[in-house]
């Protein structure tokens, strides 16, 4: 008797589960077909691969110490500009420089 009740409960629910699964699984799967990449896609893939390889090489070239030293050059440039602005310029020697001021020396450096 217990087996008959189990049968009556599970068979209809099994069919109901199959219907629910078939409705939920409606995505289109094309088996056995392959998208053939076009020439443009191949070239683009090769270009991306080359760019990636170049980035890898640049990472190796610009390691930790190289990055620090490159930043050091920028800091040195900034410091020299700062020192040039802080150090007073030499006194004007000619009468033109005395009258015109620093406008005579623009662009000489």
Decide if pLDDT at 108 tops 60.
no
**pLDDT, tens digit, 9 for 90 and up, residues 10-27:** 888 888 888 888 888 777
**pLDDT, tens digit, 9 for 90 and up, residues 36-69:** 667 888 889 899 999 998 887 776 566 666 666 6
Decide if pLDDT at 98 tops 90.
no
89 and 102 Cβ atoms separated by less than 8 Å: yes
Q: What is the pLDDT of residue 54?
A: 86
Q: What are phi and psi of 53, to 5 degrees?
A: -65, -40
Q: What is the pLDDT of residue 48?
A: 93
Task: Give the mean pLDDT of the chain.
Answer: 74
Domain positions in the chain are: 38-88
Percent of the chain with pLDDT over 90: 6
| Residues 74, 65: Cα–Cα separation, whole Å | 15
């Amino acid at each position: 008797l217990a087996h008959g009740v189990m049968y009556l409960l599970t068979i209809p629910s099994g069919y109901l589960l199959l219907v629910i699964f078939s409705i939920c699984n409606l995505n289109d799967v094309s088996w056995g077909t392959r998208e053939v990449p076009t020439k443009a896609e191949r070239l683009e893939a090769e270009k991306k691969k080359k760019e990636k390889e170049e980035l890898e090489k640049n990472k190796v070239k610009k390691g930790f110490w190289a990055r620090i030293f490159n930043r050091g050059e920028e800091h040195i440039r900034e410091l020299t500009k700062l020192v040039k602005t802080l150090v007073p310029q030499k006194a004007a020697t000619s009468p033109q420089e005395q009258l015109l001021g620093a406008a005579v020396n623009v662009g000489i450096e």
